[in-house]
Amino acid sequence: MPLLRQVIVLQSLRELGRLAPDLARNRAERSLEASLQSLREASLTTLGMELDTLTLFDARSVVRLFAHAEQARILAHLMDERARTLAEHGDFVGALSDTVYAGQLLACSRQRFGVLRDAGAADALERELPKPPT
């Protein structure tokens, strides 16, 4: 069973890697609601959970739902993208709140899974996500 979970998590990472350029493009080119909808769809696709529902709970409780540190990293990435979207549309309070939540997710992930597994999650995300344009 652990191997099956790992395969599912890797598939989620690949899906996030596939969606990441579209999310960034949507943030720049679309309305706030359309950009947020893209993030909701990405959460459903990658994590199988609704983004709006996950953010109703504290970071520690959300991280307890996950079987792997990579899942917390994916959600933290989505929250960071949502913070950027909100900031670009002038909602700096919401952006700060989402940035803090993303940091809390990562801290709780390290606490639950340990630093070594969390570092492995960071390496996996680095491999799967495309490099940002420079």
Residue 66 and residue 85: Cα distance in Å, rounded? 25
Torsion sign across C-alpha atoms 15, 20, 25, 30:
positive
Q: Which residue has the higher pLDDT, 26 or 57?
A: 57
Rg (CA), the chain: 14
**Residue 15 C-beta-side C-alpha neighbours within 13 Å:** 20
Report the predicted TM-score, pTM, of the whole model to 2 decimal places: 0.74
Q: pLDDT tens digits for 61-85?
A: 999 998 888 888 889 989 998 998 9
* Token pair recorded at residue 57: 């709970």
- pLDDT bracket for residue 1 (50, 70, 90): very low
* Token pair recorded at residue 29: 């080119």
Query: Can you give the residue ranges of every domain in the chain?
Result: 2-128
For 132, the 3-state DSSP assignment is coil
